A and B are shown apart, each in its own frame.
Chain A
Amino acid sequence: MDSSPWVRRALRAVVVVYLVLLVGWPVSLVVRGAFADGLETFQRALTDPSVVFALQLTAAVAVQVVLINTVFGVGISMLVVRYDFPGKALLNALLDLPLSVSPIVVGLSLVLVYGKNGWFGGALEDSGFQVIFAPPGIVLATAFVCLPLVIREVVPVLTELGTDEELAATSLGASWFQTFRRITLPAIKWAVVYGVVLTLARALGEFGAVKVVSGNFEGRTQTSTLLVEQRYQDFEQGTAYAVAFLLASVSVACIVAVTFLRSDDAAGPRTRRTAPRTAAPTEADA
């Protein structure tokens, strides 16, 4: 359907205006706000102990969540793709669930189980292990929210890979671990990298679930996103903008990196596959 140049230009203009008004312009204002006084705002923010603590806490939580979710994600992907067991279809559906649950509901659900009056929370606190209103709760909430990200990257690649090479390795005497390290891991390497990067971006930015479980105690359980909210409401917009800019630049860099890596991925097979299709009519004509 070739639209006329005028229609084409009009559609292009509508899309550009829409995206600039909704995303481009507002984002540029915050970037400008962060640099309004040059680098001074950043210097002031980064000497504030609460800000430093919040950034460190966010980084620590993100690293822990990435580690936990990568191990769990790769492990469960291998099990779901390679093995048959009762309830597999149900497990598959459940693994995607965290993506469609509201962050606030995630927080609520964790409080109901691990809170002081929760199912396990009382017993855990009696044995000296506080989950809710403490860092472990923040890690749990973030891990919950990010749970499917690694799995959804790894499962399609593992399915595609098949078992031929793994079987060959095993038949030649490789141990389970050797097969995994030399055959499986190199093949799923990029999927794992994508999953890790997406998890990292999401973990740095989690807000709702963390707000519910952390208690938001400045200098103890206040993560960077919670600090942004509090400082904005306390009319310290400079600090809020500076921390927001730091968080956003890391997250956006992660997502942009994945997008570009992936479009390079897709370019190869797609051009190859369309080639025969355009050739087909000429053969038919002849």
Chain B
Amino acid sequence: MTSTLAERPGRAARERGPAPAASRPRRARRTPNGPYRLTAASGLGLGVALVWFSALALIPLVAVLVETSVGGWPAFVAAVTQPQTAAALTLTVTQALAVTAVNVVMGTLIAWVLVRDRFPGKRLLEVLIDIPFALPTIVAGLVLLALYGPSGPLGIDVANTRAAVFLAFLFVTLPFVVRSVQPVLAELDRDVEEAAASLGATRSTTFRRVILPALAPAITAGAALSFARAISEYGALVLLSGNLPMRTEVGSVRILSYLENGQPEQAAAVASMLLLVSLLVIATIQLLQRRVARRG
């Protein structure tokens, strides 16, 4: 599977397999009898699996692209530059970028505290970080409304504002950076940091020149995941943001309303646009990461 999707905790640990496999002596596990050629039976199995995968996912996704291309380029441009749609896409992308920036800082900080600090109740914080993964998205919206809605005890009401979109994105993307940085930070060799310090590096220099370059790939992977998740989010903000046209409506809501109004071409155009933006941002983040790694 691709390395960019290191979404769940302890991927490095998991790659060594669960306890029974890992407790065996760690001899070299080369597979001398590498991947086999397909036999008749396995070929049939592959055929069945591919038919199911195509029927379930591939053909439908191709259908979105085909539906987008039906009206040609002018229709696509018209659909995504329609003022209400353009406003929704702009809002989605800007809020997703802002949330990703917050996650890069806060996620790294949370991972740092969880790995390097010891205090009672740390295990509880670990559970808190997994909650956004686990909660059904509609329940996530409900949960945020309870504190930040009209009857919240803090007196802060973000319902039906742009802040609601930001907050919903922030909630659902919380685990991504934390969970991708945490295992890397735990494996990081502290000798190198001590060496840097003994050679006269200040704390900030050590962080910038030693730790940050080592963490950069993990931070990048987490940032890409949280951006992709944010721009595709729907459930968490449906109750929270009010879906006000031109103000708090996001891309996925726009797709749904086009579909419900019997305009599947426009819906497909917005969907393709979201996929495109997602790919672009992930590619950009990866480029940036390579530059940071080189400078370090």
Contact = CB atoms under 8 A, between A and B. Distances in A.
A51 B128 CA distance: 28
A208 B63 contact: no
Given A160-B29, A259-B126, A265 B63 contact: no
Contact of A160 (B15, B139, B228): B15
Contacts of A106: 60
A27 interface: yes
- Greatest chain A CB density within 10 A among B9, B60, B147 is at B60
A102 B9 contact: no
Contacts of A24: 128
Contacts of A204: 136
Contacts of B245: none
A176 B45 CA distance: 13
Nearest to A115: B264
B15 A15 contact: no
Interface of B: 1-2, 5, 7-10, 13-23, 29-38, 41-42, 45-46, 49-50, 52-53, 56-61, 63-64, 67, 106, 109-110, 112-114, 117, 119, 125-139, 142-144, 146-148, 152-153, 170-171, 174, 189-190, 193, 197, 203, 206-207, 211, 228, 231-235, 238-239, 251-253, 255-256, 259, 264, 267-268, 271, 274-275, 278
A242 to B, nearest CB: 11
Contacts of A255: 130-131, 133-134
Contacts of B193: 1
| Residue with the highest number of chain B CB atoms closer than 10 Å, among A27, A30, A104, A187 | A104
Given A79-B49, A105-B255, A163 B31 contact: yes
B142 A232 contact: yes
Q: Which 8 A-B pairs have the closest CB atoms?
A: A205-B136, A102-B232, A109-B60, A266-B13, A255-B134, A29-B146, A207-B235, A190-B18
Given A96-B5, A205-B139, A83 B37 contact: yes
Interface in A52-107: 72, 75-76, 79, 81-85, 91-107
B273 to A, nearest CB: 11
Contacts of A112: 60, 63-64, 67, 264, 268
